[in-house]
Chain A
Amino acid sequence: AQSVTQPDARVTVSEGASLQLRCKYSSSVTPYLFWYVQYPRQGLQLLLKYYSGDPVVQGVNGFEAEFSKSNSSFHLRKASVHWSDSAVYFCAVSKQGTGSKLSFGKGAKLTVSP
C-alpha cells in the first residue's frame, strides 16, 4: 500500500523568504505524486502533480516540486512566499494504474508572517 509522511505539521516563514515543505512516500512502485493546497474555509485544490519524466515539476503560483526516487521524496518549494500562500498543504500519492484512489499525508500548515 502507498503512504506519505509530512514531517512538519506547522511551518512559519517570513514573507519573501524561500520555502520547502517535505514529503516522503512509501510505495512498491513509482507512484503518481501530488501536492494539494487548502485555503481557509475552502476545499483542496491541486497545486502540481508528477507522473513521470522530468523530476522537477512546475505548479501554479510559482510552486515547484522535485521527485527523488532514491530518497522516496517529493518536496515542495517556492523561492519567495507571499502572505496569501498561508494555507494547509497536503502531499498525496496514488499507485499507477489504480485510478484515482489517493492517500494523503497529514498536511503542513504554512503561516507566512509579515
Chain B
Amino acid sequence: GGIITQTPKFLIGQEGQKLTLKCQQNFNHDTMYWYRQDSGKGLRLIYYSITENDLQKGDLSEGYDASREKKSSFSLTVTSAQKNEMAVFLCASSIRTANTGQLYFGEGSKLTVL
C-alpha cells in the first residue's frame, strides 16, 4: 500500500500572505489533485496534474498556484490569503490509465487566516 503525506497539517497565516502546502505520494500514481473542503460546500477541485510538469485548472483555481516538479509531489500556493478564511485542503492521487475515478486522499491541511 501507499500513502499520501500532506504538510503542514495546520497552517496559520496573515491576511495577504503567500502560503504553500505540500503533498507527497508513494503510490507512483500519475495524476494528483488539490481539493478545497469548506463546511457545507463539499469538495471543490482547485488544480490537478496528469503527469510531471503538467497543470490543469479546476473549478476554483483563482487565487491559487500549483507546481508539479516531480511525479511524487504536488504543491499548492495560496497567493494572497483572505482574512477570516478557514478551509481544509485535501491532496489526492490516482492512476491515470486505469480511468476508474478512484482517488486516494491525504488527511488534509487545515488553513486559518487571522
Binding site for B on A (CB under 8 A): 9, 32, 34, 41-46, 49, 51, 90, 92, 94, 97, 99-107
Report the bound CA distance from A102 to B44 in whole Å.
Answer: 9
B19 within 8 Å of A (CB atoms):
no
Q: Is the CB of B108 within 8 A of A100?
A: no
Report the bound CA distance from A7 to B48 in whole Å.
Answer: 28
Q: Is the CB of B4 within 8 A of A106?
A: no
Q: Is the CB of A102 within 8 A of B99?
A: no
Q: Is the CB of B101 within 8 A of A100?
A: yes
Q: Is the CB of B42 within 8 A of A100?
A: no
Partner of B96, one of A34, A46, A49, A100: A100
Known A-B contacts: A41-B107, A49-B101, A49-B102. Give 17 more (CB < 8 A): A9-B40, A32-B100, A34-B101, A43-B4, A43-B105, A43-B107, A44-B43, A94-B101, A99-B101, A100-B96, A100-B99, A100-B100, A100-B101, A100-B103, A101-B45, A104-B42, A106-B42
Least CB separation from A91: chain B residue: B42
Q: List 15 A-B contacts (CB under 8 A).
A: A32-B100, A34-B102, A42-B107, A43-B92, A43-B106, A99-B96, A99-B99, A100-B31, A100-B94, A101-B45, A101-B48, A102-B101, A103-B45, A106-B41, A107-B42
In angstroms, how far is the closest chain A Cβ from the Cβ of B83?
Answer: 25
